[in-house]
Amino acid sequence: MGFDKKWAIRFLDDFADRVIENKQLLSDLDQAIGDGDHGVNMARGLTELKKVLAEKEPATLADVFKTTAMTLLSKVGGASGPLYGSAFLGMSKAVNADTLSPDTLPDVFEAGLNGIENRGKSHAGEKTMIDVWEPVINAMRQNEFTSDAIEAALQKTKDMKATKGRASYLGERSIGHLDPGAYSSALLFQALLKAEGE
C-alpha cells in the first residue's frame, strides 16, 4: 500500500471541504484572540485549491504539494497563508517518489513542520498551529495517529499563552481559547487520517 498523487488530491479536497464547512467557526475562534479572519482566509485559499486541482491535475505527487503551496501562499493571506505555503513547499521538496510508503509519511509532514517553524520563527508551546503539527507527527511515528490524538493536541492549545502571532498581543488573556490555526491544522490531520484509511 502507498500514497500516490490521486490519494494526495483526495486528502486535500477533503481538507478543503472541512475548512469551508468550518469557515465561521475558524473565524469565531480568531475573533476571540485575533482579528477574526482565519476562516475567511483559509476558506478563500482552499476554495481556490479545489478549483485548481479540478481544472488541471498536477503531473506528480510532489507537484500536488507544490501547487497547494503556491495557491495557499497567494490566496490565503494573513500570517497563515505564508505558513501553510511554507509547510506544503517543504513537503513537496521532501517527496522523492511517486508513491509514499506509510513509514515515510511522518518525514514528509516533518518537512512541512520545519517549513512552518522556519517561516514563523516559532516552535511548540507558543499556542500556534505547531502545537498540532508537532504532537501529531510524533503520534504518527509511534503508530498512534488517531482522531483522539489530533483532538487532544488541539485541546491543549486552550490553556496555552500565546507568544507568537497576533494572539500574543493579548498575553495572559489569550489563555482559555483554542488557537484558530491549530484548529485548521487539526482539520488537515483529520482529513489525512481519513485518506489514510481509504
Q: Please report, as ranges, the residues that interact with ligand ADP according to CB under 6 A.
A: 30, 34-35, 37-38, 41, 78-80, 83, 116, 120, 122, 128-130, 164-166, 179-182
Contacts with Mg ion by CB under 5 A lie at: 30, 34-35, 37-38
Is there a contact between 129 and 153 (Cβ–Cβ < 8 Å)? Answer: no
94 binds, among ligand ADP, Mg ion, none (CB under 5 to 8 A by kind): none
Q: What is the DSSP string of the chain?
A: --B-HHHHHHHHHHHHHHHHHTHHHHHHHHHHHS-S-HHHHHHHHHHHHHHHHHHS--SSHHHHHHHHHHHHHHHT-TTHHHHHHHHHHHHHHH--SSSB-GGGHHHHHHHHHHHHHHHHT--TTSSSTHHHHHHHHHHHHTT---HHHHHHHHHHGGGPPP-SSGGGGGGGGGTTS--HHHHHHHHHHHHHHHHHT-
CB closer to Mg ion, 41 vs 67 = 41
Among residues 21 and 35, whose Cβ is nearest to Mg ion? 35
For ligand ADP, the closer of residues 58 and 190 by Cβ is 190
C-beta closer to ligand ADP: residue 74 or 99? 74
**Minimum CB distance to Mg ion smaller for 77 or for 125:** 77
* Minimum distance from residue 198 beta carbon to Mg ion (Å): 32
Q: Provide, rounded to whole angstroms, the least separation between the CB of residue 109 and ligand ADP.
A: 15
Q: Which does 188 bind (CB under 5 to 8 A by kind): Mg ion, ligand ADP, none?
A: none
CB of 34 to ligand ADP, least distance (A): 5
Q: Which does 105 bind (CB under 5 to 8 A by kind): Mg ion, ligand ADP, none?
A: none
